[in-house]
Structure 1
Amino acid sequence: MAAAARAAHLLVDGTPSLFADTLAQAFLEERAEELLGYHHSYGAHPILAGARTTAVTRSRYVEDRLTVLAGRGVDQYVILGAGLDSFAYRSPLAERVRVFEVDQPATQEWKRALLTRTGARVPSSTVFVPVDFERESAWSLAGHLVRAGFDTDSPALVSWLGVTMYLTREAIGQTLGAVSTFAPGTELVVEHLLPDGLRDDIGQAYAEHVMAAAAEQGEPWQTFLSTEQMASLLRAHGLQPVESVRQHEALAPAEWERADALRPFTLSVLARASVPAR
């Protein structure tokens, strides 16, 4: 669904685009017509427009942050729950950083077959790191990364988008604790959802609709965190909060002056944190 939202943004919304995932449509394969058809037919619907807004703003923010850090010499990028993320296969920046895609083994097998079918070039700097979090502790993350070539003495950017709402607070904390063992200067961008009462009307409607759909598909949303709660959780697991970015803050104000249906709403937050000096 996230890939469909990114693909639909280039087909449904006006210019300038907020984020250009030029491979997302190809990655949808035989489901492209079905999934993109919803956006073509009902693109102005608040739920579909909200899905596109969320997908493109969070990806844009993270990749903009990677550009800044790469300019400072950071050359490792860890994508937790990589799914159909296409950064490594479309961005020139992927030639300058080592990309570690972390996901469930079965998901990675499916994606690697998809990359072959679609003819996407997999750069030598991209590494697949299968981690079965259902059977292993999140603390094993660092070990899997090291075996894949990750340098624990060098800082990295860690992206964790669209995942925490499906996990318990304990499971989130375990992964945060694993990231805190990375080199000082490492940054984490983690997305979390605000609890009821801290959302605006559009965010509340979006949450009620999508939360119900997720539950029906066997993936219920479990955890909602205020910005203060997320900051406390980060500190409790050895990370230093840097900023909390809502959708309207993820882009320059002028970029939200649009004629299409994309509007920022209050539900998802991007928390940026760093590994402090020891």
Structure 2
Amino acid sequence: MKPGRISMTARGVASRRAAHQVLDDSPKVLDDPIAVPILGPEFFADPVRHADPRSRAFRAFMVARSRYAEDNLASAVAAGVSQYVVLGAGLDTFAYRNPFPTLRVFEVDVPAMQQWKRGMLQSATIAEPANLTFIPLDFEHQTLMSGLTEAGFDAQAPAFFTWLGVIPYLTLPAFRSTLDVVANLPTHSGITFDYSLSHDELSPRLQSAAKSLAARVAAAGEPFQLFFRSLQMDNELTSAGFQRIEQLDTIDLNVRYFANRSDGLELPAEGLGKLATAWV
């Protein structure tokens, strides 16, 4: 995404999370009472469009990755972590339904995105909590750690990070520099993120689907750049200094979050990417 522009993919992701609240049965994979209000009157959950198998699969992944990130955050808080950083926050809603009174939340995004989000929050009369800090970061002129430090982040205390829907748009040096920030924090720090698999790790059918998706996001001005093989990601995280690593594919996510659902919501057996968590 170019500086000064808002992300259409961020709006799309938010609409999928909202559709889950309206169209899918309970229990929700991600119970998010803010997902619909933040979008305001322009949100409309079209049952026909969202019933398309590809739409259902995409929706399932959007809610599963947020749920997985927040489950890992809860584990970090239980271990004493009191700082949470949402990288590329987009329209993420955790800060406005945060169940942890002592947890400080830092939302990091480009200035245009944060200005847009805060306008949407104001329009929806959703209050900005006192324990939330917005960090409008221009990565062309400021590093992540300098932006965090200026905003009151304590680099001597552990923190948990989420980084969802961002990595495919990055360069490899940008990816590694962010990993280094987290890996150099104290014990109990960690990060959850998703990433796209290299085409040579996909079946021919999924390679075709990946090319179609890449063409759509490129047409929206947000082209994919970065892909990994699963073993390559393990090596990246180990080289950065992380001590414990977990990677989940769609089969793992179905077992964890979609078993025995009455509405049949689930992920396809093969996916275009994986979720990963790394702990210091």
Q: TM-score of the superposition, structure 1-length normalised?
A: 0.88
Unaligned residue ranges in structure 1 (runs of 5+): none
Question: Matches of 1:202 and 1:13 in 2, distance apart?
Answer: 28
Structure 1 position 30, deviation (Å): 4.3
Q: Which residue of 2 aligns with 1:214?
A: 217
1:186 equivalent among 186, 189, 211: 189
Structure 2 matches for 1:1-278, cutoff 5 A? 1-33=12-44, 36-37=45-46, 40-93=47-100, 95-133=101-139, 135-136=140-141, 140-199=143-202, 203-204=206-207, 206-250=209-253, 252-253=255-256, 255-265=258-268, 266-275=271-280
Structure 1 position 191, deviation (Å): 0.9
Deviations 1:92-134 (A, max 9, x none): 22x231001000011111112221221112211110111112x
Deviates more, 1:205-214 or 1:187-196: 205-214
Structure 1 position 24, deviation (Å): 1.6
Structure 1 position 29, deviation (Å): 2.5
Question: Matches of 1:269 and 1:233 in 2, distance apart?
Answer: 15
Deviations 1:134-166 (A, max 9, x none): x136xx111111111111111111101100011
- The letter of the residue matching 1:54 is F
Deviations 1:188-211 (A, max 9, x none): 112111122433577556533322
Structure 1 position 71, deviation (Å): 1.6
| Equivalent position SS for 2:89 | coil
Question: Matches of 2:55 and 2:218 in 1, distance apart?
Answer: 18
Deviations 1:149-188 (A, max 9, x none): 1111111111011000111222211221222232232101
Q: TM-score of the superposition, structure 2-length normalised?
A: 0.87
- The letter of the residue matching 1:48 is S
Unaligned residue ranges in structure 2 (runs of 5+): 1-11
Question: Matches of 1:179 and 1:264 in 2, distance apart?
Answer: 30
Structure 1 position 273, deviation (Å): 0.9
CA contact (8 A) 1:97 1:125 kept: yes
| Equivalent position SS for 1:223 | coil
* RMSD of aligned Cα (Å): 2.1
